[in-house]
Amino acid sequence: MKQEASLVRQLLVRLICRLRRSTKLFPLRQKDVFVRAWRDTLRTNAKLFNGLYAGLVRVGSGNAKTPQKALKEWYDRTRFKWEDGEITKLCEKSLCPVIERSNPDECASWAGLLLKAAEAAGLQREEEKHLVLNEQNANSYTEWNGKELYVGDTVEVMLPAWYQNGELIEQGICTLLTSGEE
């Protein structure tokens, strides 16, 4: 009798452990679905979110004053474009509660997922901190103080430009260090 009770107890413990593991995995599955859905969406709609990628980086790194604002703008653009679409419904289940709670760590986590999806969709940001402008990147930047930029100028990148398959998606911001005419 004691052996049967012990065996039943062991089976219950195993079952409980499995249930706990499966409930811990659910959020990961939800996040995987989120990343895949956004990857597929951004492959053809990355320009719709122009102006938000640098904000997501700030949120993800913990440097945003109000991290939920970038996520809210992301959701607003999603809702405007795909009002009754699956991607909007996905955001309402996952992103909206995070926006409402305004927890900086949660916002950073979900911003990181959006950046992961963007990367998987082929978006890349300029990694160089200093650039000599050329024919390809001269129009990818705006000078912080409003100065004109020309091919040959040397600039310091403040916010990097974002590209997808070689096409400019989000213009960067820089400061002019030296003019190519000098």
What SS3 class is residue 168?
Answer: strand
pLDDT grade for 70, boundaries at 50, 70 and 90: very high
Position with higher pLDDT, 28 vs 157: 157
State the pTM of this model. 0.80
Residues 98, 30, 67: CA angle, nearest 5 degrees: 25
With CA atoms as reference, report the closest residue to 137 among 159, 165, 158, 168.
168
pLDDT grade for 29, boundaries at 50, 70 and 90: confident
Position with higher pLDDT, 5 vs 23: 5
With CA atoms as reference, report the closest residue to 57 among 112, 126, 123.
112
Whether the per-residue pLDDT at 25 is higher than 50: the answer is no
Whether the per-residue pLDDT at 17 is higher than 60: the answer is no
In this prediction, residue 3 carries a pLDDT of 67
In this prediction, residue 180 carries a pLDDT of 73
In this prediction, residue 33 carries a pLDDT of 92
